[in-house]
Amino acid sequence: MSRIGKMPVTLPAGVDVSFANNKINIKGSGGALATASNALVTVTQDGVKLSFAPANDSRQANAMSGTLRQLVNNMVTGVTKGFEKKLNLVGVGYKAAAQGAKLNLVVGYSHPVNIDMPAGIKVETPVPTEIIIKGADRQRVGQIAAEIRAVRPPEPYKGKGIRYSDEKITIKETKKK
């Protein structure tokens, strides 16, 4: 059996779990999230713990028990603490400005790039060269961060572009005659 799937998910105070319409709904102070339940995994709640077990002995049921357990764990973490990604802008004149639910980027194009944030995602720019994306849904936070990075990915010769704060860019040597 999956080692991840064997570990129960502990529900902190203030987090409610409900099972309806083949969905697992998690509600907390940071919002409400839902994921589809899987027929290969049996979910049981005893007090403040959620346990996940494969419904049969197949490899797929074993794998899905660990996957569903981690998805639910991420939802519990998201509605209590939330997730955040930091992006840095490197380049002369590169800057970002958050205006409500919009992010305005000036990253070397002839026009500014405007990105609308979906519901549940907040964006902040404490300094013009730093973007912080926050939200309860880990997948959506990571997807929005990847879409913002794709506007101007870091290039390998000077390192200019939008990068994650913990990303290391290997600078290439220029071509020589």
Question: What is the reported pLDDT for 5?
Answer: 84
Give the Cα separation of 33 and 84 in Å (integer).
16
Locate the domains of the chain by residue range. Answer: 3-80, 83-164
Query: Any idea what DSSP says for residue 104?
Result: E
The reply to whether 3-80 and 83-164 are identical in fold is yes
Give the Cα separation of 37 and 98 in Å (integer).
36
pLDDT in tens, the chain (177 residues): 568 888 999 999 999 999 999 999 999 999 999 999 999 999 999 989 999 999 999 999 999 999 999 999 999 999 999 999 999 999 999 999 999 899 999 999 999 999 999 999 999 999 999 999 999 999 999 999 999 999 999 999 999 999 999 999 999 998 888
11: tokens are: 């529900």
Query: 3-80 has which fold?
Result: Outer Surface Protein A; domain 3 (3.90.930)
Superfamily name with CATH number, domain 83-164: Ribosomal protein L6 (3.90.930.12)
Q: Within 10 Å of residue 157's Cβ, how many Cβ atoms?
A: 10
